[in-house]
Amino acid sequence: MEPEMEDKTLELMNTTFMDSQTDERSKKTTVFKTITNGPMTGSRKRPSEGNYEKEKEVCIQLFDQWSEADQVEFVEHLISRMCHYQHGHINSYLKPMLQRDFITALPAQGLDHIAENILSFLDARSLCSAELVCKEWQRVISEGMLWKKLIERMVRTDPLWKGLSERHQWEKYLFKNRTTEVPPNSYYRSLYPKIIQDIETIEANWRCGRHNLQRIQCRSENSKGVYCLQYDDDKIISGLRDNSIKIWDKQSLECLKILTGHTGSVLCLQYDERVIVTGSSDSTVRVWDVNTGEVLNTLIHHNEAVLHLRFCNGLMVTCSKDRSIAVWDMASPTDISLRRVLVGHRAAVNVVDFDDKYIVSASGDRTIKVWSTSTCEFVRTLNGHKRGIACLQYRDRLVVSGSSDNTIRLWDIECGACLRVLEGHEELVRCIRFDNKRIVSGAYDGKIKVWDLQAALDPRAPASTLCLRTLVEHSGRVFRLQFDEFQIISSSHDDTILIWDFLNVSTNGQTEGRSPSRTYTYISR
């Protein structure tokens, strides 16, 4: 655009604007219009008489003759000469023109999959809102099966969702492509709120202590306790004081198999899909075939009772009343070799746990010791308990320990700081487990306590709010427990295994925190 023409046009615009200001002061009324076609109403108005319409047409004709670059340059000059009030009007006019409905536009370009992918990142509340935007958005969500994808994402990332999918059988409708027979999107949309309701019910059951109780009686002529256990969806494996290992059907609660061979009480065990590894007061560690019950290996190293053991990814750690910790390489069930013996505790080592970074041990000497997993070198000691430590669990940076001082302590393993002390048990805290939400502890007072882990990690949370529930059903000392999102399974000196089910709870005629139990008694021959 020629400079002279631009200057002439701007001069014409300024002259028009100055005239309008004069007319506005004299007439006190009228209409404000934009340089383009169509009015823009506002509180400041100008008259439509005079030469405005003619001058506007001249400006538009000149404007239409220029290139896009010249038009942009001219509008920039024009805007720079306006006041803030006028800028506000122009902004309101432009804002809706600049908005684009990309979800509707993408399918029109054959890009439905991109629109689906964008909306698949929404949470449930946002997905509900998106369905209400327009019919096209609703179509993209429906045909893209986005409610199904949302549920699948939750099942992949949240153990509670995964467990519910398995127990309620709707997992069979997930993770299948569109060519397979699957229900329509409406099925998953209606399923989602039902899942949320189930989750809320389970959480309420945990908080209120509502549960269905099942009891396995493990009595035999010389049995006086169930020292250890582990379970999965199909079975419970328990170690007893009568030197045996009993395998129970998880559904019928019948005893499937009894493994014998230890000459002392079975104090600890762990199993995977191939083997059961047990430690005994006879000072040995035995490896059994999980399917046949055959003894595959016997490790003789410790001088006194093997109190605890853990194995994972080809590494096993055992600890003993002889005050030592043994680190083993497990090439196979029959090829297990001693790598290193860790010495440092001044009393029996009651419990060990480890990951790729640290081995953590706790002892009757009141200390927790941290060792490097790769080098087996000593790292640090955690001090704080006033009496011997009976149990602990270690995961990520958190260590949770229970002691005969009747307290539970939470530790940061990296700096060694004690983060919180939980008080409430009246006797020795014998077993402890935690997940992302809860700590569950069992003690010699016969009680199982459920604690709020997130609140315990918050220094501002009052101590009185930390214990969510106390469960009392065992008539003897609680020796061992394990739990997941739906249940606790515990064993005791009273020769029983209790299954506390927080998912399948019948509320008919029950008092809060208690539920009818069914009892199974196994009499060994």
Specify the pLDDT at position 506.
Answer: 79
283 and 395 both lie in a single domain: yes
Q: What is the mean pLDDT of the segment spanning 429-436?
A: 97
* Residue that wins the pLDDT comparison between 50 and 47: 50
Asked whether residue 198 falls in the same domain as residue 325, the answer is: no
Question: Pseudo-torsion of CA 490, 447, 493, 401, nearest 10°?
Answer: 70
> What's the mean pLDDT when you consider all of the chain?
88
- Cα end-to-end span (Å), the chain: 107
Greatest CA separation found in the chain?
A: 116
CA atoms within 13 A on the CB side of 142: 10
**What CATH number did the domain enclosing 189 receive?**
1.20.1280.50
* Domain identity same for 402 and 475: yes
Which of 207, 226, 242 is the C-terminal boundary of a domain? 207
Which residues, in sequence order, are CB contacts of 453 under 8 Å at separation 6+?
434, 435, 436, 437, 438, 439
For residue 47 the two structure tokens come to 């008259």
What confidence category does residue 33 fall into, taking pLDDT thresholds of 50, 70 and 90?
very low
Closest CA relative to residue 227, chosen from 216, 240, 215, 243: 240
8 pLDDT higher than 70 = no
For residue 39, the model assigns a pLDDT of 41
Domain closes at, from 155, 186, 207: 207
For the chain, how many residues are written?
525
Q: For residue 17, is it within any domain?
A: no
The pLDDT of residue 521 is 38
- pLDDT score of 221 more than 80: no
Residue 96 lies in a domain: no
Tally of domains within the chain: 2
The answer to whether residue 72 is domain-embedded is no
Do 267 and 345 reside in the same domain of the chain?
Answer: yes
- Same domain flag for 212 and 188: no
Say if residue 517's pLDDT is above 70.
no
pLDDT bracket for residue 49 (50, 70, 90): low
What pLDDT score does 182 carry?
A: 82
Q: Mean pLDDT over residues 426-440, rounded?
A: 97
Identify whether residues 382 and 496 lie together within a single domain. Answer: yes
Of 207, 231, 246, which residue sits at a domain end? 207
Percent of the chain with pLDDT over 90: 73
Indicate whether 329 and 424 sit together in one domain.
yes
The answer on 272 and 191 residing in a single domain is no
251-293 tens-digit pLDDT: 999 999 999 999 999 999 999 999 999 999 999 999 999 999 9
The answer on 218 and 139 residing in a single domain is no
Q: Which domain holds residue 126?
A: 102-207
Copy the structure tokens of residue 484. Answer: 């997941």
Q: What is the pLDDT of residue 281?
A: 97
510 lies in a domain? Answer: no
**Secondary structure class of 131 (helix, strand, coil):** helix
My answer on whether 199 and 239 are in the same domain is: no
263, part of any domain: yes
- pLDDT, tens only, 225-254: 999 999 999 999 999 999 999 999 999 999
pLDDT in tens, 57-101: 888 999 999 999 999 999 999 999 999 999 999 999 888 888 778
pLDDT at residue 523, rounded to an integer? 36
Q: Is residue 407 part of a domain?
A: yes
Spatial CB neighbours of 80, under 8 Å, sequence gap ≥ 6: none
What interhelical angle do 185-208 and 159-167 show, nearest 10?
A: 110
Give tens-digit pLDDT for 372-382: 999 999 999 99
Same domain, 153 and 290: no
463 belongs to a structural domain: yes
Please tell me whether residues 277 and 137 are part of one structural domain.
no
Local confidence band at 522 (pLDDT 50, 70, 90 cut-offs): very low
Cα distances from 174 to residues 109, 115, 149, 181, 233, in angstroms, run 30, 21, 8, 11, 20
> What's the CATH number where 351 sits?
2.130.10.10
Burial 177-204 (b: 16+ CB within 10 A, else e): eeeeebeebeebbebbeebeebbeebee
Residue 353: pLDDT above 80?
A: yes
Answer yes or no: is pLDDT of 396 > 60: yes
Domain membership of residue 508 (yes or no) is no
- Under the banding of pLDDT at 50, 70 and 90, the label for residue 222 is confident
